[in-house]
Amino acid sequence: MVDERPVDSEPIELVADERPVDVEVESEVIELFADDRPVEVDVDNDEIELLADDKPVEADVDRLVMFDVVVLATA
């Protein structure tokens, strides 16, 4: 369902408080370790032939549904 009302584009004044916030932060040094040994994995190195059709696909697209998807994906 699409709401087709216009977007409110009036400017809104933003107010910020410039006082510092009291927080507790851990500032202890933490030692990090890394292992330089390679990891054992099985990899399939066989070549695979990829095929593609140059013909366009016929599809009926509901533009309102696609609009909902774009709005949800960017929210």
Q: Are 64 and 4 in contact (CB under 8 A)?
A: no
The predicted structure's pLDDT at residue 72: 55
∠ Cα 11 12 16 (to 5°): 140
Q: Are 9 and 75 in contact (CB under 8 A)?
A: no
The predicted structure's pLDDT at residue 60: 66
Inter-CA distances, 63 with 5, 46, 53, Å:
17, 41, 25
The predicted structure's pLDDT at residue 61: 61
Instruction: For residues 68 and 61, give the distance between their C-alpha atoms in angstroms, rounded to a whole number.
Output: 13
List pLDDT tens digits, range 27-74. Answer: 888 888 887 887 888 888 888 888 877 777 776 665 555 555 555 555
